[in-house]
Every structure is written in C-alpha cells, then in structure tokens.
Structure 1
C-alpha cells in the first residue's frame, strides 16, 4: 500500500491523501487570498471524505470536471454539509480564478454520492472501507481501509471528550498504519464542563448588567454546540448566519448526535434571525446573546453586530474557537482593534476567548494513539507535525511526519 500526501502534510488545511493512486481520502482547500488546494492532479477511482469541514471537503467538486465521475463516499451529514460549503465557496470565489469548480460540478455531486453509516463496511476502489464515529462534528468519521494485507486508519479530525453536541470517539479499530491529525499536540484543554461554566457565568453577568454579548462561532459544529450550551444554562440567545442552515441539517440526523432531542430543545430555545428590515440592529440593542458567524470575524452577520455593540464597555465579544493569526478576531483579541467590514475599528466592548475546541488535545491524542503502539504512525494536520512525531518516537512509537508530496510505502 502506497500513501501519497497531497495536502495537510506539516500544515493545517487542504487535506488530501492518495492511496495507491486509486483511493483519495479527503480533498480540501485552505482558506486565504487566494485559497490553496492540494498538490498534484489526482484521478482517483473513488473518493472517501472524513467530514464536512472546508479543509477536508472544499475541493471535492473539482474532481468531477471533464469526464471524471469517481464515486464519493461519506456519511449523510457530511454529504449535506459539503453541498452547503460548495455553494458558499462558489458564491465567494465563483467570479474569479480562485474557485476550481462551477455549479455543474456541484450538481454532479448528487450523481456520484454514496452515503454510509458508522461501522457499515463498504467497497471503494476495491478496498474494504469502514467509518467510525470521530466525535468532531456531526457525521465526522475515522476511515479504516483494508486491502487484505494492510489496514490503514485515517483518523480525520477527532475529539475524545464528550460535548453537548457529540460523544467523544471511543473507536479503536485494529490498524497497521495510522495517519493521525495533530492540531493540538502541545495543548491541554480545560475540562469542557469548566469552560462551559465560565462562559455561561460571563454571559449571564453581562446580560444582567444590561449588555449585549456577540458570540462569534463557526457555522459547523460550534454554532450548534453554543446553542445547546445556552439552552442548558438558560441563556437568552439569537442565532444568525450559516449556522442556522447547518443546525437544520444536524437536526435531520439525530443518530449522528449525542442527543438529538437536546439539539431540538436548543433550537426551540434560540430565536433565528432573518436579517430583514433592520432586525440585526434592533437585536444588537437588546440584553441578549447573539451566536453568529463568522467565527473569526472575517465576514457574515458579525459585520453588523460588532460595529453596533463595540462602543459600550458593558457589552462583550466572546470568541469560542481558535483565532488564526492575521484574522480580525485575532487582531481584536491582541490589540483591541480590528478591520471589520473594510473599516479599522477600535472596540471598547470587552473581549474574551473560550476553548470550545472540537479536536483532541495532547492528552487525547496520546490516549488514542496508545492503542496503536505496534502500528506505524504518520503525523499530519498540524503546525508542529515533525516535533510531535519526534515526541512519539521518544515515547517508543514508530512515528514520522511526511512532507507535502511525499509517497510512503507500507512495510
């Protein structure tokens, strides 16, 4: 079994792994100006997608140009999320050279789509493939590939701790080779219950003081998590942006959630914003929480809310996810000012950050990999892959960090 790393090697973004020039695992894009895509020009017999985040699924429609029609295998939630992301990408980049696909390729996705549940073995490009719940976002999967001689486990992104939305992964299928993500290989998350309590207390206090809390949240996974946290702690809240559409998708698949009824209660507790007739400006004057995209303040309805609430120090902006360097969210946290919707603004409202990560931390990664001490470990999807691989070797693992474009043979 040969494994070629077309993206995600020693980096985060544009994940893509090609097995024997035949089976493609993920085909994502890295956001940026311009965005970047996997290297090479793969022509796979089949595609398997681990989950519906842009850096894992964003470029999949481009594989369907010309006469190419490889079947695309994923869980039902991942299929639906991929369609939403593809259309959003086309809207953002369709008029420029930055988008590698058209509406025609997006339409073809439905023709080649094949959905599977967890632990249902299926055949793709001649391999036996099985999905296992990865606990990252709804529908996220570890991917086990078996060619009869070698068993390869591609972890995708995963989380080992329970959240309001999902149960942490407990799957540990036998494997000879493990390709593991390493996003938080040098970070220890605080217990989720502690983070939730701190967040809830801060938001309740601000609302009691008469302030408004803007909660920037990623549309996929994080928005649904924050709605459930607000409901669980009886916090008045609105939801705005793409997270509304994703919440509706997640509700269609309760079997891929920890508690589908709890998400329904959270949806009923929150008020969905239409954005018509100045509604957002009126909501920004209320003593309430507003869960909205984008999670890093790079677009979305947050462009209306933040300018409206920025001048009052009673108000608050509570970030719920990692803020990439150079994004408005990071600038605001570091400097108290940021470029919002084309204008550099100083912000008097208080800013806070809470670690609601959907990735395993260092302890979670090591706990997961402890089941694979006899396997070959290939570290990817991180900004310190080489360092983590070295730490694993010192702990007795057979671990390496492949380079971008590198092909490795099973041994």
Structure 2
C-alpha cells in the first residue's frame, strides 16, 4: 500500500512538503510533492535549517506545483544535501524558479555576511547559508518542464498531469496516478488555487476524479470582498494619500501580486483617477518577473491584456508611463528623499525583509503615509503586526511608531476564497478523501465546517501524519 506523509504546510500556510512512497511493480519509490520554505519568525528559521537527512539521497523524483518560495524555496537545499533526480514543473514555474531561487540565494548570502560579522566580534561560531548560487544552478539543471494536460511518467509506475491553477504564471493543480495495493490511486493536490476575480490569470481548472485530495485552505474562513469594491477603496486610499501629501507604500509579492497591482494602477491612470505622478517598482526580482510576464503573455488572460492594450508589444511604458523601475540600491535609496506624492511597490510581500523595510524606516512615523496591504500576512511577520494594529514595530533593529494609516485590501488576493474552494471541492465525483493543508488552524476549521454543510467530509492532518493511498 502506497502512503502519503505530511511534512509541511500542515496547520500553517508555508513550508509545503508531502512525501509519497509507492509500492508499484518496479519496487518501492519515493516522490516528493513540493519543497517549500517556511516563512515567519524564528521557528521558521529552525524548520528551514533542519537537514533532509537520508531523504535527499533516497528520493526518486520531485514535483513542484508553482514557483512561490513557500512551495519551492528549499529545492537548492535538497540538491545541496545530495538530491540528483528530476524536478518536474511547468515551463512558467521553471522560468520563475530561475529568478526567485537566485534572488533567495543572494539575500541569504547578504544576511549571513552581516550575521557572521557580528559573530566574529562576539566570538560566536560562524553560520552558513541554506544554499548558494551554485546550488541554485544545479537545481535548475534538474528541472524538467511540461505543458498543462500532458501525462508524464514518474518512477515506480506513477503518472503526473498538471492543470492550470490560475494563481500565478505556471501555477498548477497536480494530478498523480499512483500504484497502490495492485490498483491505481489518484491523488490530486490543489496547489494554490487562483481567485477567479483576479486579473491576468485564467480561471482555475476543475478536476472531477480523485481518491485523495489535498486542498489549500489559506482563506478557508472567508470570501474576498468583490473586486470592484476593492478597486474603489484602493482609488480612495490613493486619493487620500494625495490630499495628505504623503507616500503610498505597497508591500507586494514579486510574483503575481505586483503585476496585478500594476495592472490596476494602469487602469486608474488611463481613467484619469491616479493623482500621483510617480510609481516606483522597487524590487529587482519583481522587475524581472514583470518582464517575464510580458514575454509569457500568451499564457495570460487575453481579455485582460486587451484592457491594457499590450497584447502586441508588452511595453510597460505603454500602459503606465509614470512607472519607474529601480534596479540598483542607489536608485532605491533615492526614493526616500521623496516625502510625498509617490507610490512605492516593494518586496517582501509579508514585510519580513527586502526594500520595503527601508521605506518603512523613513515613512511609517509620518501620519500622511498610507500603507496598503494587498496580500496574506503570515503569523509572526512584520506585515501581520501592521495588519493587527501594532502601535510600534521593530524595523532594522529600531522601534518605530506606526503613525501611518494601514489599509488591508483583501479583494486583491490571488487565492480562492471559501466559496470558490467549496465549489472546486464539490466538482469531484464519488466522495474522495479530503485533507486540508496550507492554512492556519482557524481558517482550516472554518472551511472544514463549511465543507461539512455541503456534504463533504475533510480532515485536518498534523505534521508527520501518514495516510494510505
């Protein structure tokens, strides 16, 4: 009997990892579904540093649903510790991994450099990064990309098919047909399901047949506000910031959310409703991803591209002339000399690092500043503290008063809300077993109850739990 073991993103949102051990005719095989980075506080750092042990050398294949680091960010660490097999993903995911993993390795190197300077001064043992650029290069060389809908043979007689999840470029629902007890069992992993209301992405695909379903539950406790209402609130916040004479800071994930925000700013600009004269995309990674989205625009929603009128050229200057892309540290630092009238989009999305931190340092204490939160903020992150109304926060080792007005706009979410999750789950025939992953406990329990009302039984697994397939 083949088994599934939950090794991450259980009763939490990040750190996705699931081990599948098969018992097919070719002998037992081990497949890893996802290899994600934990994001949050010190507990996340400890979880990321934990060695894979023998698993790195025993795995026969790895499958990745999409390029967000909480699903893929530990791949180079797995390779560093000895994995040499294939990494299966879509083409869009492969292209994103090149950008995101290199960026992650670069940031780790800088963080470790600063940490070790302190350790040397205090006679502490030095530390090493989780991985380096060489590990990223070896990881990318192992990637094998596949289009949606194409069956892929895996070791041990398993078969893989990717379906469009509508979340970010290349995001996939994962279908695995796994030999188990002399039969073929179908495991479906939702990955991160997209929000049908969000722009640029196509709607998530429906799947109808499964024996076991792993379903994300990030927003299992709520529906998102309608997009048109969210856009009106966004426009009002921007207008208030203009009248107050302050800057607008938008911490945004480099992949997906940044491109969606730029889209909406473009629409407001061409409607004559954007009063600010400067929009800065202050993230080298987000700039690269935005350029990738333009190159891969055939994979995006054609109707949304018509609104921007960039289907032919993909030239950002065409749809948002006031956009400035700041690639260098010097260009980023220069933004902080602007005391008002600017919109600054910068990473990291959960405010747990990146250039947004430096902009907080110069702007959070100003009542005229507006901070617009447009993505999920995990427990333990600086972004979550701001959402929860903290009156002061620690930024770059300094306690800062939060005088800026903080606005949370959930309607921009690239995740399905509760109603969409229930609708997706309800498409399955023959009552498969459901397991809720990628959600904080409150959200999972709310979704579990809502699913039960719809006649769908779902379990909430714990870390290390194993179930038969």
- Verify same fold: TM over 0.5: yes
**d(CA) in 1 for partners of 2:147 and 2:163?**
8
Structure 1 pair 267/407, CA: closer, same or farther in 2 (3 Å)? Answer: farther
- Alpha-carbon RMSD: 2.5
- 1:187 matched to 2:222? The reply is yes
Give the equivalent residue in structure 1 for 2:134: 104
Q: Pairwise mapping of residues 4-403 of structure 1 onto structure 2 (< 5 A)?
A: 4-20=5-21, 21-31=29-39, 32-33=41-42, 34-37=45-48, 41-42=54-55, 43-65=58-80, 68-94=83-109, 95=112, 97=127, 99-125=129-155, 126-147=157-178, 149-234=184-269, 235=274, 236=276, 237-241=279-283, 242-259=285-302, 262=308, 264=314, 268=318, 269=320, 270-274=323-327, 275-276=329-330, 278-282=333-337, 284-333=338-387, 334-355=389-410, 356-372=412-428, 374-384=431-441, 385=444, 388-389=447-448, 391-393=450-452, 395-403=454-462
Cα offsets for 1:280-338 (capped at 9, x unmatched): 124x3341311111223332222332333334423311111233343333333412322
Task: Report the Cα offset of residue 393 of structure 1.
Answer: 4.1
**d(CA) in 2 for partners of 1:376 and 1:330?**
33
Secondary structure of the corresponding residue to residue 403 of structure 1: coil
Relative to the length of structure 2, the TM-score reads: 0.80
Count of aligned pairs = 409
**d(CA) in 2 for partners of 1:318 and 1:49?**
31
**d(CA) in 1 for partners of 2:341 and 2:132?**
43
Cα offsets for 1:11-65 (capped at 9, x unmatched): 2221111222522110112023325248775332111100111111011122323
Task: Report the Cα offset of residue 255 of structure 1.
Answer: 2.9
Structure 1 pair 367/406, CA: closer, same or farther in 2 (3 Å)? Answer: same
Task: Report the Cα offset of residue 141 of structure 1.
Answer: 0.5
**d(CA) in 1 for partners of 2:378 and 2:81?**
36
**d(CA) in 2 for partners of 1:276 and 1:130?**
45
CA contact (8 A) 1:29 1:35 kept: no
CA contact (8 A) 1:133 1:142 kept: yes
Gaps of 5+ in 2: 22-28, 113-125
Larger Rg: 2
Structure 1 pair 313/394, CA: closer, same or farther in 2 (3 Å)? Answer: closer
Gaps of 5+ in 1: none
Give the equivalent residue in structure 1 for 2:115: none
CA contact (8 A) 1:24 1:44 kept: yes
**d(CA) in 1 for partners of 2:129 and 2:54?**
16
**d(CA) in 2 for partners of 1:303 and 1:376?**
43
**d(CA) in 2 for partners of 1:68 and 1:292?**
34
**d(CA) in 2 for partners of 1:9 and 1:232?**
38
**d(CA) in 1 for partners of 2:355 and 2:131?**
26
Structure 1 pair 97/365, CA: closer, same or farther in 2 (3 Å)? Answer: farther
Structure 1 pair 332/66, CA: closer, same or farther in 2 (3 Å)? Answer: closer
Secondary structure of the corresponding residue to residue 289 of structure 1: strand
**d(CA) in 1 for partners of 2:226 and 2:54?**
43
Relative to the length of structure 1, the TM-score reads: 0.90
Secondary structure of the corresponding residue to residue 335 of structure 1: coil
Higher helix share: 2
CA contact (8 A) 1:213 1:288 kept: yes
Task: Report the Cα offset of residue 225 of structure 1.
Answer: 1.0
**d(CA) in 1 for partners of 2:18 and 2:93?**
18
Task: Report the Cα offset of residue 382 of structure 1.
Answer: 1.2
**d(CA) in 2 for partners of 1:198 and 1:305?**
23
Task: Report the Cα offset of residue 6 of structure 1.
Answer: 1.5
